[in-house]
Chains A and B, each alone.
Chain A
Amino acid sequence: MIGVIVFPGTNCERDTVRALRMIGAKAELVWHGEEALDDLDGVVLPGGFAHGDYLRTGAIAAHSPVMKGVRRMADAGRPVLGICNGFQVLCEAGLLPGAFVANRNLRFICRFVEVEISDSRSALTEGLHPGTRIRIPLNSFEGNHRDPTGTARVVARYVDDPNGSQDGVAALANTEGNVVGIMPHPERAMEEVMGSGDGSELLESFVRATEAARV
């Protein structure tokens, strides 16, 4: 079972559950007040505007009770995926390096982007060869990742820089590869009618990682 976390202001949770179920995974919504996530094989922090992006995007959500459970899962090596706002929450929680600032052109970017996989050693990219290019939608105002320490393990980069993100970072992982954040939305590219089915390859890798984590 994969848990999809819902914070107040999250809005991509149902698309995320649908996408996971489309590829055969069991997925359910988990409210942010829930601390115990022991029955879950993996967890996804979906996109949206948790707490209205108040204080800083993802800052308040990073302190939600559910994050205690997410942290335990991350420490135990279970797959944890943050999509868009979820990626921002993982950075604020210190589970992934760096932080986000506004897109360089100060515009909310809402379009398909091409992303190139640079590292397949992660729960999200394990099924894709480095160099593979995929098309998925980017929908964000603060997708500009900054990493002053330069320690991030980049697993995917934008082919054409849409937002000024340092090193073109579109997705990155922790050292172990079980915690991954991606700024564009794989759950919005699951089938051709959505404009691209490329996102399904990423989520299939993630689902396989959750099956492997189930001991």
Chain B
Amino acid sequence: MTVRIMRRSDIADPEATTVARSLADLGYDEVSEVRTGREFILEIDSDDSGRVRERVGAMCEEILANPVIEDYEVLIGDS
């Protein structure tokens, strides 16, 4: 399972702002916005895909994401 965690768009993201500025400085001025996030790839030993989704969601809620400043998305990978 892949979990994608993105900084919420309404929250300040100094790294994203800095990356956007760097891209513009390098001549890539067609980039109007940058948002940052990261992915966690979890190897899960289970066949019950419904339960897995639920458990991974719980992991995100409890620790992998900070809901104050981040949104998360659970993406089912190919096995």
**Chain A interface (Cβ < 8 Å from any Cβ of B):** 55-56, 59-60, 63, 91-92, 97-99, 101-106, 144, 146, 148, 164, 166
**Chain B interface (Cβ < 8 Å from any Cβ of A):** 7-8, 10-15, 18, 62-64, 66, 68-69
B10, B62, B64, B69: the one within 8 Å of A101 (CB): B69
Q: Please give, as numbers and ranges, the residues of chain A lying within 8 Å of B62 by CB-CB distance.
A: 63
CB pair B69 A103 closer than 8 Å: no
CB pair B11 A101 closer than 8 Å: yes
CB pair B69 A146 closer than 8 Å: yes
CB pair B66 A56 closer than 8 Å: yes
CB pair B66 A101 closer than 8 Å: no
CB pair B66 A59 closer than 8 Å: yes
8 nearest A-B pairs in the assembled complex, by CB-CB distance: A99-B68, A102-B14, A99-B69, A104-B14, A106-B18, A99-B66, A106-B14, A146-B11
CB pair A106 B15 closer than 8 Å: yes
Task: Known A59-B63, A63-B63; judge A148-B68 contact (CB<8 A).
Answer: yes
CB pair A144 B14 closer than 8 Å: yes
Docked pose: A59 CA to B5 CA in angstroms: 14
Report the minimum CB–CB distance from B70 to chain A (whole Å).
Answer: 8
Report the minimum CB–CB distance from A151 to chain B (whole Å).
Answer: 11
Q: Can you list 27 A-B pairs, Cβ within 8 angstroms, ordered by A? A: A55-B64, A56-B66, A59-B63, A60-B63, A63-B63, A91-B68, A98-B68, A99-B66, A99-B68, A99-B69, A101-B11, A101-B13, A101-B69, A102-B14, A104-B12, A106-B14, A106-B15, A106-B18, A144-B12, A146-B11, A146-B68, A146-B69, A148-B8, A148-B10, A148-B69, A164-B12, A164-B14
